[in-house]
Amino acid sequence: MKGARVVAIAVILGAFGVGGWWLFGQNGGATSLSARAAHLVVRWSGKYQGNMTLPARINWCPGTRRGILEAISGDSGVAVVLYERDSLTNGPHTVGSPDMAASIATPGATVVMRWMRTDRDTAVTGFRSQGGTVRINFVGGKGSGDINVRMRALAANDTLVMQAVFRDVPVVTTAAGCS
């Protein structure tokens, strides 16, 4: 009788563990992030950990067929370059390294992030994408989605995992900021 109770408890705990892994494992845990309209919420973990909420906008550059999601405040920010075939497209964009931008298949993306480190108020820390996915949906001139990427430091071998969500970020068609 005691053995059956132990087995039953183990099965229940295992089911909760698998359920928690499934729930939080979806989208790299980004589903637990929530952004208000025209903002990007980002968190990262690895050697450094942190989070930011930033105002955002998407610049569409028709000449280069690139969309640039910018979320910047002071010395901190995230930029996502969306490489498109013809126009901004819904769905997943495979993320590559900015070093390989010329060979990224469309639709694709690159991501960079920087922030002022709180442990050293004179150090801006920068990271660039190594792989992952940006998922985006455009409705009524606005984009919403999530970002799950592996990042590497610009000047070192430090790595981190970054998750972000953005909601109802306005799309602006402009030649300014396009390159």
What would the pLDDT profile of 139-159 be if each residue is shown by its tens digit? 999 999 999 999 999 988 999
Tokens at residue 129, please? 């994408």
The reported pLDDT for the residue numbered 117 is: 76
65 and 132 belong to one structural domain: yes
C-alpha span between 116 and 177 (Å, rounded): 23
Asked whether residue 178 is assigned to any structural domain, the reply reads no
82 and 12 belong to one structural domain: no
Of the chain, the percentage scoring pLDDT greater than 90 comes to 69
Inform me whether the pLDDT recorded for 11 exceeds 50: no
Instruction: Give the three-state DSSP class for 1.
Output: coil
87 and 18 belong to one structural domain: no
42 and 58 belong to one structural domain: yes
Q: What is the pTM of this model?
A: 0.80
Rounded mean pLDDT, 112-132: 86
Domain count, the chain: 2
Inform me whether the pLDDT recorded for 35 exceeds 50: yes
Half-sphere exposure of 39 (CA within 13 A, CB side): 11
Contact 53, 39 (CB under 8 A): yes
The reported pLDDT for the residue numbered 127 is: 97
Domain enclosing residue 105, as ranges: 33-173
Asked whether residue 8 is assigned to any structural domain, the reply reads yes
91 and 24 belong to one structural domain: no
Asked whether residue 179 is assigned to any structural domain, the reply reads no
Asked whether residue 96 is assigned to any structural domain, the reply reads yes
C-alpha span between 137 and 116 (Å, rounded): 30
Asked whether residue 134 is assigned to any structural domain, the reply reads yes
Asked whether residue 155 is assigned to any structural domain, the reply reads yes
Asked whether residue 61 is assigned to any structural domain, the reply reads yes
Of the chain, the percentage scoring pLDDT greater than 70 comes to 78
91 and 141 belong to one structural domain: yes
19 and 44 belong to one structural domain: no
pLDDT higher at 174 or 149: 149
